[in-house]
Chains A and B, each alone.
Chain A
């Protein structure tokens, strides 16, 4: 298991480096002048030139990137042009909110979609299955922000039950989490259903049934465990989607998270803040992928033996 973990870790690091280099390179094409943004109005040309030199803006891209990453490793994500505060501090304040959204919605997806998918597989082609097929078609087609607006209209405006903004308490989290979870429900329940149907048709399940084991035991002990493999693989992807989706949801519900920070930063051409946001998102997603892979290995021991052997 350890060697497998190490192997996965070595896979992640090059991807992280390449991802951040790509974003860093793209952002360096930004038309705004950081020196001007920092010094603000009334800065003299020579002051600007000095600031540019001081910021190292005249160095080659790779040098600047290396310096930035060097800073990141020592906990220095740079300083925001607009708030004049350390980016790491800004992220520190906002990351918990985004993590609540991303992992809260992920939990909600798994807790709802897996049982739902199993139920759909068990009752394949029943009325329930067909109704849910139509429903998921609808929910998959709904943009999360529109669904959110409709929820606000009902639960905040008409009924007055739920707050329409912020993430101050559990009540405030309900609507944002549902909005983020809906797309995942659709995908994951479909996946679970298809995967269950695949597994159920396989020989060992027939054998188990033939042995006279109760249906529930067959489903839980044999079918579900195997059917979950493709679902678990998709979790990493779901986290990525949740982090991306959180941007829109944070704006809709006025939640002070990484996404809102980045959207504000775009309007202010605040490149260090955008870079920090992307970096953190990439790390969160990479870690989620790593955990996914590891849990995959736990569920399916065959993998471990495959990767566990010393590689040539």
Chain B
């Protein structure tokens, strides 16, 4: 059980711990650099010209001057496409986690707070979703709807909800019986007020840290789906699909398959480091491991 010190601001404490964690800081810088590069991509590259504009005479160029990461099989600037692909992957990954987080908080809190029948009903329903591997759930989804950015975000978010909701439920359960909360309740505060003002702020710290750890999974799923050709459709650049399209040229134009993969690896490492650091910072029990 987490003994959260309620008199001090837990977030400030967490931040202090995080900033002292060297690997987490490295992760934070890496993540910031990746996000910044992706966000600033439109400053250097024109979407029409560099990202989707085909230039047949420049195809399959290996990394060299002027085109730091070379060109792909249609002569498109690989750096521009990787950066734009990052915008897509990060948006979907983060968006899915935010949406799933909201849904999971609602479901998990309801289940934990009301308990009994409500609880077991909700948990059973989530078990159903949990029983289907994310990739198979995605395949079911793309059978019935177009793989647009929004749809994929929703589908991936949905696949996260069961595990996340269980987490919220466990945390809320552990907080709701604290003496302090019981005291507030005894004073006659409304359920909603108890939840929003007292239970959630104390329960959510560790939960949010764990939520961050789902973003890499989302990015993996998106790229996996793109790789098998069922994800974001061309010409929109997507890391998994970019990699797949370079397979035919794997011998000479190795960069088309290698570099988008490296982008995935770097992004996921950054997110993992930050997530680990966050968890350690917020959950003091974990930090002494």
Contact = CB atoms under 8 A, between A and B. Distances in A.
A contacts B directly (C-beta below 8 A): yes
Nearest to A17: B128
Nearest to A289: B131
A142 B265 contact: yes
Interface string B113-144: 00000000000110111011111100111111
Interface in A1-34: 14-16, 18-19, 22-23, 26-27, 29-31
A18 B127 CA distance: 9
Nearest to B125: A18
Interface in B229-265: 229-230, 240, 243-244, 247, 250-251, 254, 257-258, 261, 264-265
B272 A281 contact: no
B227 interface: yes
Nearest to A193: B289
Contact of A262 (B134, B139, B258): B139
Interface stretch (B13-21, B197-205, B216-224): B216-224
A269 interface: yes
Nearest to B223: A143
Contact of B136 (A16, A137, A247, A252): A247
B146 to A, nearest CB: 9
Nearest to B261: A146
Contacts of B43: none
Contacts of A285: 131, 133
Contact of A152 (B124, B127, B140, B250): B250
A194 B216 CA distance: 22
Given A141-B268, A149-B257, A26 B133 contact: no
Interface string A264-285: 0011010100100110011001
A248 B272 contact: no
A50 B43 CA distance: 59
B136 to A, nearest CB: 5
Nearest to A260: B228
Contacts of A150: 258, 261
Contacts of B230: 263, 266
A48 to B, nearest CB: 21
A23 B135 contact: no
A144 B141 CA distance: 22
A22 B129 contact: yes
Contacts of A31: 144
A266 B139 CA distance: 7
A99 interface: no
Contact of A15 (B128, B240, B261, B266): B128
Nearest to B268: A141
A119 interface: no
A27 B132 CA distance: 14
B264 A247 contact: no
26 contacts: A15-B128, A18-B124, A18-B125, A22-B129, A138-B269, A142-B261, A142-B265, A143-B220, A143-B224, A145-B223, A146-B261, A146-B265, A149-B243, A149-B247, A150-B258, A150-B261, A153-B250, A153-B257, A157-B250, A247-B136, A247-B228, A248-B228, A259-B135, A263-B229, A277-B136, A285-B131
Interface of B: 124-125, 127-129, 131-136, 139-144, 216, 220, 223-224, 227-230, 240, 243-244, 247, 250-251, 254, 257-258, 261, 264-266, 268-269, 272-273, 289
